[in-house]
Amino acid sequence: MSPDPDIDPKTERELVAADRDRAREELGQAVEELTHKLDVPARASEKVTEAKENTRAAAAGAKDKVADSAQHAGERVAETAAVAKERAAESATAAKERAADTAAVAKEKAAEAATVAKEKAPEPVARGGRQAADFVRANPVPVAIGVVSGVVLWQVLRKRGRR
């Protein structure tokens, strides 16, 4: 630098000192950046730390997503179960109503058949039917044993006939 005749020597020294200090600061920053770039283990450690943090963040996000999905799935299952329960109740009610209707129709037809049988059956047959019904009412267990024995005997004879 050539001395400038318009600047006071004291001011010029201050400017040179300020320029020198700024250059030192820039040089210090450049040295620090080069040192950081050349310090491979430190940079690797920083990368590992960064990767760990990213992994933790991703895992936390995935955990939240899975928890939300599980909650929504549970809600859907509960809703589906409620609908199925309601439909089952409706089906059961409808089945009961159909069974009651069928039973009523069967009862009517049985009553009609009994009336027709009474009217058309000769008196001795009707009397025998009443006696048989009275006997069954008075002795239900022996009659049941006899019926079961008859069915078993019939099954045995049927099986022997096939051989």
pLDDT digit string, tens, across residues 1-57: 455 667 787 888 888 999 999 999 999 999 888 887 787 787 788 888 999 999 999
Token digits of residue 10: 């004291």
Say what the pLDDT of residue 12 is.
Answer: 85
Mean pLDDT is lowest, of 36-40, 67-71, 102-106, 155-159, for 36-40
Output the pTM of the full model. 0.37
Say what the pLDDT of residue 6 is.
Answer: 72
Say what the pLDDT of residue 2 is.
Answer: 54
Q: In degrees, to the nearest 5, what angle opens at C-alpha 56 toward C-alphas 38 and 73? A: 155
d(CA 147, CA 139): 12
Alpha helices in 2-139 (DSSP H): 9-38, 40-120, 123-138
Say what the pLDDT of residue 107 is.
Answer: 86
Say what the pLDDT of residue 161 is.
Answer: 82
CB atoms within 10 A of CB 126: 14
pLDDT confidence tier of residue 122, bands split at 50, 70 and 90: confident
pLDDT digits (tens, 9 = 90+) for 79-113: 999 999 999 999 999 989 998 898 888 889 888 88
DSSP symbol at 2: P
